[in-house]
């Protein structure tokens, strides 16, 4: 009898099942951490403070329960399918409303699908969260290659352009011939590339980290030069934020230059946690919401909590993706916040805690088919994680004009 191998395009159910011995090993490694002395300054200018990481490590070792988030994940429909030679893991939740608009949502670094868990219900079941049936989405949330439960590339080439093609293939494979895409952080790069590639069926993209910086401004900010003449007050503010951001990305430069050297984050849970927490943030952004969550055990308003931060860090640990995720920085050779030339419909939400607040004037130039632009009053870089209800409201508003039957 011959057993036929599964087709490469097969979509296979996926369940998270972490052996207890792996969790025991995690706790053992935390317990065995060799600590350095404390920082010699009274602020965070030398990195993650010793007291902060030791307090988190003690809780991680003694009280944190991975099984809680594992159960949340397994309550969702998860799948794996091979695309371009690599297994891609994704969550796929269809709305009870059959006419819902399909939406693929992209995470970034140092994030994962954990970031999107709180937006699933508001987007797929809007009537229970202040929206109407016409606002419903069918939701697809993939793990990027090298991240989470997706496969780890064994060769080069898996940058945002290739991911964009893979997500288009994924949506086609799921039977969606009409859909929209959303992304922040690296996910914003991916959706910009999807917009450039304009696959059949992609109606529009939404970004909460838009690439809209004009060429002259981008060149000057990268060089640390004075701002070009003629900027408005809003544009000058954005320029100063860009200067600040480019001065605080040592972590990104390391991953872009030498990702394989980061063996410590594959060997030490505490080393991994510190690496994922440290953004060298001027004025506490964009990671202020993450570090402040370390002191929050519960939240009645969906603010980030300590357990949610550890859910994400523990996912990186259990999948051993600290280094493989870092290679995305090495893969990408393009600009960061510069305009890319996207001409399909684009929606933009500007969150105040983002690395820079994109001015409408730049967004209109970068995205000539700008269908939605809004500046909100709270939330930051990890928008879906920090403010899931607000984020969900923005998704409904951003794509409302594209719904079938809309007169817009």
How do the residues of the chain divide into helix, strand and coil, expressed in percent and rounded to 5? 45, 15, 40
Asked if 129 is an active-site residue, the reply is no
Task: Single out the residue of 237, 193, 192, 183 nearest to residue 349, CA to CA.
Answer: 183
Give alpha helix (H) positions in 174-305.
Answer: 186-197, 215-223, 233-246, 250-257, 264-267, 269-277, 288-293
DSSP 183: E
3-state secondary structure of 103: strand
Give the chain's length.
Answer: 408
Asked if 43 is an active-site residue, the reply is no
- Which of 316, 329, 356, 372 does the annotation list as catalytic? 329
For 366-407, give the DSSP string. H-TTEEEEEE-SS-BTTHHHH-HHHHHHHHHHHHGGGSTT--
Query: Using alpha carbons only, what angle is made at residue 124 by residues 401 and 99, rounded to the nearest 5 degrees?
Result: 55
- Which of 185, 192, 281, 307 does the annotation list as catalytic? 185
Residue 305 · residue 388 · CB < 8 Å: no
Residue 129 · residue 392 · CB < 8 Å: yes
Lookup result for tokens 């909590």: 305
Query: Using alpha carbons only, what angle is made at residue 202 by residues 376 and 341, rounded to the nearest 5 degrees?
Result: 70
DSSP 97: S
Q: What are phi and psi of 297, to 5 degrees?
A: -85, -30
What angle separates helix 306-319 from helix 50-62, to the nearest 10 degrees?
80
Residue 120 · residue 181 · CB < 8 Å: no
- Which of 107, 138, 381, 393 does the annotation list as catalytic? 381
Asked if 281 is an active-site residue, the reply is no
> Torsion angle, CA of 144/148/149/153, rounded to 10 degrees?
50
Q: Is the peptide bond before 286 cis (omega within 30 degrees of 0)?
A: yes
CA-to-CA dists, residue 363 to 50, 127, 186, 385, angstroms: 41, 31, 18, 24
Residues serving a catalytic function are: 185, 329, 381
């Amino acid at each position: 009898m011959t057993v036929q191998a599964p087709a490469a395009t097969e979509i296979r159910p996926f369940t998270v099942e972490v052996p207890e011995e792996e969790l025991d090993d995690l706790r053992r490694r935390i317990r065995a951490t060799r600590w350095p002395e404390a920082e010699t300054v009274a602020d965070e200018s030398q990195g993650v403070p010793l007291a902060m990481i030791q307090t988190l490590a003690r809780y991680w070792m003694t009280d944190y329960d991975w099984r809680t988030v594992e159960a949340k994940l397994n309550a969702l429909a998860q799948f794996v399918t091979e695309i371009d030679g690599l297994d891609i893991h994704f969550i796929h939740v269809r709305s009870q409303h059959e006419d819902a608009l399909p939406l693929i949502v992209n995470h970034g670094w140092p994030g994962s699908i954990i970031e999107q868990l709180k937006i699933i219900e508001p987007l797929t079941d809007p009537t229970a969260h202040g929206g109407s049936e016409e606002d419903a989405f069918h939701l697809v949330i993939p793990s990027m290659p090298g991240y989470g439960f997706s496969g780890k590339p064994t060769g080069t080439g898996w940058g945002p352009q290739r991911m964009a093609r893979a997500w288009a293939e994924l949506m086609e494979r799921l039977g969606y011939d009409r859909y929209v895409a959303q992304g922040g952080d690296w996910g914003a790069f991916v959706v910009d590339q999807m917009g450039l590639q304009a696959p059949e069926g992609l109606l529009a993209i939404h970004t909460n980290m838009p690439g809209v910086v004009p060429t002259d401004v981008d060149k000057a900010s990268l060089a640390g030069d004075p701002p070009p003449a003629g900027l408005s007050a809003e544009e000058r503010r954005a320029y100063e934020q860009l200067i600040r951001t480019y001065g605080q990305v040592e972590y990104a430069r390391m991953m872009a230059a030498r990702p394989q050297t980061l063996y410590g984050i594959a060997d030490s849970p505490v080393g991994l946690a510190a690496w994922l927490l440290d953004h060298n943030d001027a004025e506490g952004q964009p990671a202020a919401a993450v570090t402040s969550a370390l002191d929050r055990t519960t939240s009645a308003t969906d603010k980030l909590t300590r357990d949610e931060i550890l859910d994400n860090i523990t996912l990186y640990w259990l999948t051993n993706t600290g280094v493989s995720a870092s290679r995305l920085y090495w893969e990408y050779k393009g600009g960061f916040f510069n305009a890319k030339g996207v001409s399909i419909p684009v929606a933009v939400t500007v969150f105040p805690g983002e690395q820079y607040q994109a001015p409408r004037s730049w967004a209109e130039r970068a995205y000539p088919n700008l269908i939605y632009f809004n500046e909100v009053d709270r939330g930051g870089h990890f928008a879906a994680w920090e403010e899931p209800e607000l984020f969900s409201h923005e998704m409904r508003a951003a794509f409302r004009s594209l719904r079938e039957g809309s007169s817009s």
